[in-house]
Structure 1
């Protein structure tokens, strides 16, 4: 059992909370039983080591089995070691170290019907929630464009609750790179923007039933004129009550589900 919170190996794992270290090591941190379970079930080839405390929680038996079946190294650690490794105040008994991966944008969007592009989305909770909604709606890929947060940031990984391991996730240096790749793959690029045309009119025209890539902008400023110009159309989600607007994660969830409904109805 690994019991020294100051051991070099523990420090290397703990350092993965920093982007510079994730890039240097080519590794990232996966925290909590749900996220680790999805890693082992869907991307076991990426899992390097699982660190778990001793206990009798139901999930521990399942994770032990998944790690064994996948040939992933499992190490027992003390509560003190797990706390030193984890970014959370109250870790849930298990963390894993996984290898970062890169999916080229062109590969991620090839053959897709529904893609989500986040441009300069900075909040990890928002980014994770949008990715999770995209997964739930059956999206084919998610792209982090421009100066968006790192998809392997621990808070992003946690907030996806495992959806990070369910679909292709790519990083594009610029929004233009993402939109060009999407359009080349036959997708209509739609920008979500409060200055756009009415969503319901576009839905009635059958726009949402086509292969679509939705672009969502920064939480505070949205998309500027030049960024909107990279899309084929800008659409807005109507607000019927007195609320000024919807937050990014809520608006994205509604829009990707509206698109999923339209695409399935058209089959």
Structure 2
């Protein structure tokens, strides 16, 4: 779309007020729109999911030798130029006071996205090779799941971690923070636009995973009285030995879903009874425990690297 010629300079206009309202979940649901803040997240949205971006708002500033409207800096100018190559994205220059009215975390650029474009139907997320056999890509079919994650910063960080570890998808289970919360999106550093993010209830999640034929490994320190967790190094060593032996079941490889619990309470015993295995991360020092984001990074990366090392 062409660049809008009129510079937006009224922070109290209806359009700007509606944009600012998208920080609230009810407004996002009502308008079916969400806010993407900051150069990194906006760049990844435009590059990877331009189909869901409807509008770009770019702060003006020093022209720095550019003809016409000068944007705040070369970074936001480059993002705007990229967006102008897409027919569905309108680019609007705005003043500093308008940008501050939209968001104090914008760093000169925000985008509006269509929430319907971010929705993922779990029925559409097939296992690799569902139309035949699972594909042997040399990497694990790994999905990360998080039960009742409430903190936006934690949710964004684990989405970024799952993306970096090569997870096929991420599932937010039960009563979790909205993945389209602006703070969540900022914390993902753009990863929210790289990896499918699903939301579902606990029973639906368990039915979906078992329907895929996958196994659920729960991350938990203590397990249950009759199901003690396996230490992560032991799990990785055992799986490495099985892989190195060249043994095969003769059928499709089974995928794995790794389930993490609430930041404060972990996973409830009744849910741990319904998973296939439990794993814990050993503590070698005097710390009582690891936080959710660190646990997710250690466990997901351990599984991802172990699988790849064995295939080298």
| Short-chain TM bin | over 0.9
How far off is 1:247 after superposition? 0.4
2:233 — aligned with what? 200
| 3-state SS, counterpart of residue 221 of structure 2 | strand
Aligned equivalent of 1:58:
74
Larger Rg belongs to: 2
In the alignment, the residues of structure 1 paired with residue 309 and residue 150 of structure 2 have an alpha-carbon distance, to the nearest angstrom, of 34
Q: TM-score, normalised by structure 2?
A: 0.81
Length-normalised TM-score, structure 1:
0.94
Summarize the alignment of residues 1-267 of structure 1 with structure 2, pairs less than 5 Å apart: 1-54=7-60, 55-71=71-87, 72-86=89-103, 88=104, 90-100=105-115, 101-108=118-125, 110-111=127-128, 113-172=141-200, 174-195=201-222, 196-206=229-239, 211-267=255-311
Secondary structure of the structure 2 residue equivalent to 1:4: coil
RMSD: 1.7
Deviations 1:73-124, CA, capped at 9 Å, x for gaps? 10011111111111x3x53000000011211123336338111111100000
CA shift at 1:142, angstroms?
0.6
Regions of 4+ moved over 3 Å: 207-210
Q: Which runs of 5+ in 2 are unaligned?
A: 1-6, 61-70, 129-139, 223-228, 244-253
- Contact 2:58/2:80 (8 A) holds in 1: no
As a proportion of its length, which structure holds more helix?
1
Question: 8 Å contact 1:119–1:146 — kept in the other structure?
Answer: yes
Give the deviation of 1:204 after TM superposition: 2.2
CA contact (8 A) 1:33 1:93 kept: yes
Contact 1:157 1:164 in 2 (8 A): yes
Aligned-pair CA distance for 1:203: 1.7
User: Residue 17 of structure 1: SS of its match in structure 2?
Assistant: coil
SS in 2 for 1:264: helix
Looking at structure 1, the residues matched to 191 and 218 of structure 2 have their Cα atoms a distance apart, in angstroms, of 23
Residues paired across the two proteins, number: 264
SS of the residue corresponding to residue 138 of structure 1 reads: coil
Deviation of 1:58 (Å): 2.1
Shift of 1:184: 2.0
Quote the Cα distance in structure 2 between the aligned partners of 1:23 and 1:219: 26
Indicate if the aligned counterparts of 2:20 and 2:102 stay in contact, CA closer than 8 A: yes
